Structures are given as structure tokens and as C-alpha cells.
Amino acid sequence: MKGNSYFSRKLHSLLGIIPLGGFIVVHGLTNYQAFERGPEGFDKGVTLINSLPLLPLLEIFVIYLPLLFHGIYGLYVAYQSNSNTGRFKYGRNWAFTAQRVTGVITFVFVFWHVYQTRMQVYLGNITHEELGSTMNKIATDPTYFVLYLIGVLAAVFHFSNGLWAFLISWGITIGPKAQRISSYICMGVFVVVSALFILSLVAFMGDEFKEAANAALTWTNIG
């Protein structure tokens, strides 16, 4: 069995759900602590994640490498597709195009977002305790807020619609009825996970996240 696009595509599809899909859900839930429990809740979540053993290895093998493979191969997959929504105006065909467009948006957004947050911790510009105030700065800037809203909605759509496609790519949902039911479930996933992210973005706007901001003033030179 030599390397061929069948295996690359299967790997691309798998990585989209495991680990990336799992990550986006956990990420949404952690951020949501900001909405539900305020700065302490969010800090707790961040600290919990930062106390995981072998964190750098986990990050590299469970997030960065899968993201790079899925993202870069995904750009290639998007390049290989036409969009013919003008001629075939079916919902699923729109979703096909949207899957590609949101993939590209997600690609740009994720790199920018990681640079603004995680990279700054690595570079020593902020500590992870200051991430809350970093997010406060982002959420209170109207331009950043809108860009984050677009980025988050694109990423969550991409994940939810990708989940629907994943179930077909692996032969789990086969008939039209199974695929219709799974599309309703995936739409539900989109609504719930989007809500998690949007509510946390709103929560980050609150003054209580500003507290640690003084310490994070250095961040101002990043944007």
C-alpha cells in the first residue's frame, strides 16, 4: 500500500474530529467558565489545563501537528473544489462551499488567535494568569470583537458541518434518513457550541476581567 490520497483524506477526516473536534468543544467549555463563574472560574480552567502532565508534548501532538496537517491539506482540498452554488442552489451544496470558505477563515483566525494568546505566554510577554485580561482587551475592542465573532462562528460551523460529513466519510450515516437526522443533530451542535463561545466573548467584555490588565500592559504592543 503506497501513499495515496485515499489515506491522506482519511487521516484528514479523522483528525478533524479526533483530536481537533474534541479540542474545540473542550475549548468552548473552558471559555464558558468565564461566563458562568467569572474570572475565578476561567482561571481555574486555564490552571487545570496548564497542570496537565507533558503539556508541551500534548500541545504539539494533539493540537499543533493535527491542526497543521488538517489545515494545510484542507487548503489543498479547498483548492481542488469548484463552487457551483449559482447553478445548483441546494442547501447541501451551499454547505459544501461554506465548509471550504469557513476552513480558510478558520485557518487565518486560528493562527492569529494562537499568536495573540498562547504565543504571548510562550514568548514571556504575559503569564497564563493574565489570559483573562488579554481576552478582555480583545473583546472590548470593537474591531477585534467582530473579527473574533466571525472567526468563532466560522470555526464552529466548520466543525459542526464537518461532523456531518465525517459521519458519511466513514460510512456511519448511510441512508438519506440517517443523514437528515444527523444534519439536525449537527445543527444543534452548531447552535450550542457557538453559544458557548459567544457567551464567553461577551463575558470577557466585563470589567472584572480587566483586573489583571495592568500586569498585561505589555500586550498593547502586540495587536
Partner 1 sequence: MAETTVASKTVKFIISRQDTPESKPYTQEFELPYRPNMNVISGLMEIQRNPTTADGVKTSPVCWESNCLEEVCGACSMVINGKPRQACSALIDQLEQPVRLEPMRTFPVVRDLVINRERMFNALKKVKAWIPIDGTYDLGPGPRMAESKRQWAYELSKCMTCGVCLESCPNVNDRNSFIGPAAISQVRLFNAHPTGEMNKHERLDALMTDGGIEGCGNSQNCVRSCPKGIPLTTSIAAMNKDTTTHLFKKWLGM
Q: Which residues are annotated as part of the binding site?
A: 27, 70, 113, 158
Q: Which of 47, 50, 84, 127 is close enough to bind partner 1 by CB under 8 A?
A: 84
Angle at 18 between CA 12 and CA 21, to 5 degrees: 95
Residue 177 CA: distances (Å) to CA of 33, 86, 107, 181, 218 = 37, 26, 32, 6, 55
Which of partner 1, ligand HEM, none sits in contact with 83, Cβ below 5 to 8 A by type?
Answer: partner 1
| E runs forming strands in 83-128 | none
Q: Which of residues 13-52 bind ligand HEM (CB under 6 A)?
A: 13, 16-17, 20-21, 24
Does position 190 bind ligand HEM by CB under 6 A? Answer: no
**CA separation for the pair 79, 156 (Å, rounded):** 21
Binding-residue total with ligand HEM (CB under 6 A): 28
Closest CA to 156 of 196, 125, 123: 196
Residues of span 78-117 touching ligand HEM by CB under 6 A: 78, 99-100, 103-104, 106-107, 110
Among partner 1, ligand HEM, none, partner that 80 touches (CB below 5 to 8 angstroms by kind) = partner 1
Q: Which residues bind partner 1 (CB under 8 A)?
A: 1, 4-6, 8-10, 77, 79-84, 87-88, 90, 92-93, 96-97, 99, 164-165, 168-176, 179
